[in-house]
Chains A and B, each alone.
Chain A
Amino acid sequence: MLRVQNIYKEYENKPLLNGISFQVQQGELVCLLGSSGSGKSTMLRIIAGLEEPEAGKVFWNEEDLSEVPTHKRGFGLMFQDYALFPHRSVSENIAFGLRMADVPQGKIKTLVHAALEDIRMTDFADRAVTDLSGGEQQRVALARALAPNPRLLMLDEPLGALDHNLRTELIKELRAQLHQSQKPVIYVTHDQEEAFALADRLILLHEGLLVQDGSPEELFRNPATAWVASFLGLGNLVAGKAVSEHQFDTEIGGFNLKSTAPLETGQDGFLLLRPGDVLIGPESINSSNHFTAQVRDCVFLGDYFRVEVQAEESKLLIQSPFPLTPGDQVELAWPAEKLLCLPA
C-alpha cells in the first residue's frame, strides 16, 4: 500500500528527516511517535503532498506520487487544530470533500447525514463549527476527513488539543471508529500511552532517524536504544560498558545478562533496570547481580510502593510490595534473564 522511501527533509539548514523509510499495509493502524520537533508532522505533510522532501519518494501501490498534487492523492488528513472551515456549518464542512469529488447533490445529503449519525451529531448539522466544544470539533473533523472515503487516513495529534479526561474517553471511541473504517491509518502523536492504546504498529522517530519500527509488544520487550526505553518510560537506565557478550559493568557493579548484548565488547551503553523486576532484601542475596543501595523516598501507590533508592551516584526507581524506610540500606538485585543493555 503506502511505501515511504528514504525521505530527506531539511528545516533551517538542519536535517529534520534524515532518510526515513517505512510501509503501511491495508487496515493497519500505525503510530508515528516522537518528541515535538522530531519531524513526525512534517512526515505526514510530505505524504499528503503539502510539502516536498529534498530527497526520497512516496509510493502508493508502487505508483510514484512525486508529481501527483495534494488534491489528487486521495488521502485524508486531520489537523491538530482540526482546521474546520469557520465560515461553513457542520454539515457543509463534512460535505466539502464530497463536493470537491463532484458527488451528486442528493448523494452528498445522504452521506453527510450518515456521517452525522455515525458521530451521533445529527442535531448539529446546521450549527456553526465555532460553537462546538473541543470534543465535538474533533468528531466533526474526523467525519470530514472520512467522508470522501480516502484511501489512507492520517491524523496529526488528533487529541492533542483536548484535556486529559476527554482524551482517555475519546481514545476508545477513536479506536473503534478507526478499526471500523478498515483503512490504513497513520496516527501522529507524542504521547506514548495514546500510541500504545491505539496502534497495531509503532514507528519511533528521533533526531531525524527512524529508531524503531515494531508492534507495541516488541517495543516494550526489546527497545532498540536507550532513548527508546527512556521515551517509553520503561525503567532506570544506568550508564556503563560491555565487558563481554553477557557481562555489563556500571558504577553500581557488574551485571550478568542472559540476553546477548547488542554492543561490541568495550562499547559504552546503558543498562535497563525495570522497576517491577527488582528483587529486594533476602531474595536478592542469591542473585549474582546484587548490590546495596540507600532508600531515599517511599510513596504508597496502591498496588505497590514506589521507592527511590541511590547506589553510588545513580538514583533508581523500584516497585516494592512492602514499605521501606528512607535512610535505611537495602539489598537489591535484578535477575539476569530480565536485564537488557542498550546502545545510547
Chain B
Amino acid sequence: MKRSASLTWLLWLFPIAFLLFFFYQPLLAIFRLVFSERFNQGWQFFSWPQVLRPLGFTVWQAFLSTLLTLLIGLPAAFLFARFDFPGRKWLRALSLLPFILPTVVVATAFNTLIGPRGWLNLILMSVFDLSSPPLSLLNSLPAILLAHVFYNTSIVIRMVGNSITRLNPHFDQAARVLGASPWQSFKEVSLPLLMPSILGSVLLVFLFDFTSFGVVLMLGGPQYATLEVEIYTQALSRFNLPMAGLLSIIQLATTLLITLAQNRVKSPRFGKAALSSERSSLKPALTRSQKAFVILMSLLLLLLFVSPILSLVSHSLVTFEAARGERGEVQTGFTLDYYTELFQNRSGSIFYSNPLAAIRNSLIYSLLTMLIATALGLVSAYALAKPGRLSRWLEPIFMLPLGASAVILGLGFLITFNRDPWTSGSFPIMIPIAHSLIALPFVIRSILPAIRGIPRSLREAARVMGAKPREVFLEADLPILLRAIIVSLVFSFTISLGEFGASSFLANARTPTIPVTIFRYISQPGALNYGQALAMSTLLMLTSAAGSLLIEKIRLPGEELF
C-alpha cells in the first residue's frame, strides 16, 4: 500500500514539474511582463486601436469563417450520415485530409490556386493574353475564409455527422406517427436533439478560426492581422514584447471563455439517451431532389478538398519560363528541378536557410518530440487514470496546453528562455520541448482511454499469479497499450513536423524547420524559391498524410481525437 502511494506521487511529480517549468512559467512570464510594464511606464506601449483592431478583425473573420463552414459542413454531414452513393468512402476519407494538413501546406496550396503565381491567374493570363495576374485574391479576407472553410468543414462533418448517424431514428418516427410533418419533426425533435453537437462543432470551429495563425499570416498579409498574427508582428518585427503579451492575455481569456462554453453544451442531460449505440443505416438517394443533392454536394466537396491539393502537387512539378518581351507567353513544362534542388547545398552561408538543413532539423526535432511527448503523455495518462479527486482536479492542468495557442507558447518561451543556458548550446532544445507541449494533450487523449480500458481483473489476475508491478505492466498493460502508444508516437511526430506557430518564434536562421523555411521561401521573389517552397510543402503533405493513414490503421475503432 505504502509503496504504491509513493509511486503515485512519483507519477504525478514528473509531468507536473515539466508542465510547471515549461508551460506555466512562460505563461506567467507573459503576465508578469505586461503588468510590470504597466506599473513602470503607465501603459505607454498601449493604445486602444492597436488592441481593438486585431481583436475586432479576429472575431469578425472567425464569425464569417464559422458561418461559411456550417453552410457547407451541415449539408455535408447530412450527406455522409444518411446517403449511400458511389465513392462515399473515398470522399469521406478525403474530407478528413484537411484536418491533418499542416497550416503552411494549406496556405501554400491556396497560394498555388489563387495567388499571383497560382493556377487561376495563370489560366486567366493565358486565356485573355494578359501580362499581369488579373486577380489579387491573396492578402484578402476571402482567401482566409476559404482556407478556414477548407480546414474546418471536416470537423462539422465528423461531429455532427456522428450525431446524425447515432441519433435514434425512432424519435423522428415517433413524432411522425404522432402527427408531425417531416418539417415539424425536424424542428421539434431532431434539431433540438442534434443541437448539442451542432453547437459543439460551432464553438470548436470558431475556436480554431479564432486562434488560426499560419493560414492568416500567409494568406491574409499585413492588413488582415488577427490577434495571433499581431502578437507575432509585435514581438518579432516591432520588438514590442509587452504589447504582444497583452494581446496574448486577451487571446487566452477569449479562448478560455469559448472552452468554458464548450463544456457547457457538451453534456446536456439528455445527451446519452438521444444517441443509440447502433448506427442508422445508409440509404441510396431515391427521389430526384435527393439525387440532385447528393450529386451537387459531393461535387462541391470534391472541388473544395481536391483542388488546393491537386493544385499544390501539380504546381510543384511544372516550370514557368515566362519568356521576356513576349506578352503573356508562358512556357510550361514538367520538371523535378524543385525537388532535386532541395537536396543540394548551394549556398555555403550558415545564415541562409537552406532546405536540406531544414529537413534535417525538422526530422531531429520531430523524433525528439515523439519521444518526449509520448513518454510524458504515458506517465501523465497513468497518473490521470488513477481514480480519485486528485485526478479530477489535475486533469485541466494537463489539458490546458490544448487551449493555449502555439504562438503564445512561442512568445512565452522567447521571454522566459531567451538567456543562458537555454540559448547557449548550438542545439535549440526549446523547439522539441515546445512541440511536445503542443502534442501532449493529443497524446494523453489517445493513451488515457486505452489505460482506462484495461480490465482491472487482468492486472489483478497477473498480480495473484505472482507478477511484480513491473511484470504486471509488461505482461498485462503494455500489450493492450501498444496501439495507443504507436498512435501517440506517429501523432506527435507529425504534429512536430508541421508545427509553425511556436517554431516561427523559436527557429532562428541557423535552425530552421521545414514549415518556417516554406514560409520564408514563398514570400521571396524568384521561380526557384517559389518552386522549392511548393516541393517542400508537397513532401510535408505526403508525410503528414502517410502519418495519419498509419494512425487510422492502428487506432482502435470508436476513439475520437477531438
Contacts and interface: CB of A to CB of B under 8 A. Distances in A.
Q: Do A and B come from one complex?
A: yes
Interface of A: 45, 48-50, 69-77, 79, 81, 83, 85-87, 96-97, 100-101, 128-130, 144-145, 148
Contacts of B276: 81
Contact of A76 (B168, B177, B185): B177
Contacts of B178: 71, 76, 96-97, 100, 144-145, 148
B176 A71 contact: yes
Given A71-B180, A101-B179, 6 more contacts: A48-B173, A69-B176, A71-B185, A83-B168, A100-B179, A129-B273
A87 B193 contact: yes
Given A85-B189, A86-B193, A87-B193, A50 B173 contact: yes
Interface of B: 168, 170-171, 173-182, 184-185, 188-189, 192-193, 268-270, 273-274, 276
Nearest to A128: B269
Given A100-B178, A128-B270, A144-B178, A87 B173 contact: no
A87 B176 contact: no
Nearest to B170: A83
A85 B174 CA distance: 9
B170 A100 contact: no
Nearest to B173: A50
A82 B276 CA distance: 13
Contacts of B170: 79, 81, 83
Contacts of B180: 71, 96, 100
Contacts of A77: 173-174, 177
A97 B273 contact: no
Closest 8 CB pairs between A and B?
A: A86-B270, A83-B170, A100-B179, A97-B178, A86-B273, A83-B174, A70-B176, A77-B177
B266 to A, nearest CB: 15
B168 to A, nearest CB: 7
A65 B245 CA distance: 70
Contact of A75 (B168, B177, B269, B270): B177
A75 B178 CA distance: 8
A96 B177 CA distance: 11
A79 B173 contact: yes
B177 A48 contact: yes
A237 to B, nearest CB: 36
B188 to A, nearest CB: 8
Nearest to A101: B179
Contacts of B168: 81, 83
A141 to B, nearest CB: 9
A100 to B, nearest CB: 4
Nearest to B195: A87
A100 B273 CA distance: 23
Nearest to B274: A86
A144 B171 CA distance: 13
A85 B171 contact: yes
B179 A97 contact: yes
B275 to A, nearest CB: 10
Contact of B171 (A49, A83, A101): A83
A70 B177 contact: yes
A38 to B, nearest CB: 20
A69 B173 CA distance: 12
A50 B270 CA distance: 25
A75 B274 CA distance: 24
A64 B391 CA distance: 64
6 contacts: A50-B177, A71-B184, A96-B188, A97-B178, A129-B273, A145-B177
Contacts of B176: 49-50, 69-71
A34 to B, nearest CB: 20
A73 B269 CA distance: 33
Contacts of B270: 86-87, 128, 130
B192 A83 contact: no
Name, among B176, B185, B189, B276, the residue most crowded by chain A CB atoms within 10 Å (CB to CB).
B176
Contacts of B182: 71
A100 B173 contact: no
B273 A71 contact: no
Contacts of A45: 173
A310 B80 CA distance: 59
Nearest to A80: B170
A184 B185 CA distance: 26
Contacts of B269: 128, 130
A222 B228 CA distance: 83
A75 B179 CA distance: 9
B273 A130 contact: yes
A312 to B, nearest CB: 47
B431 to A, nearest CB: 48
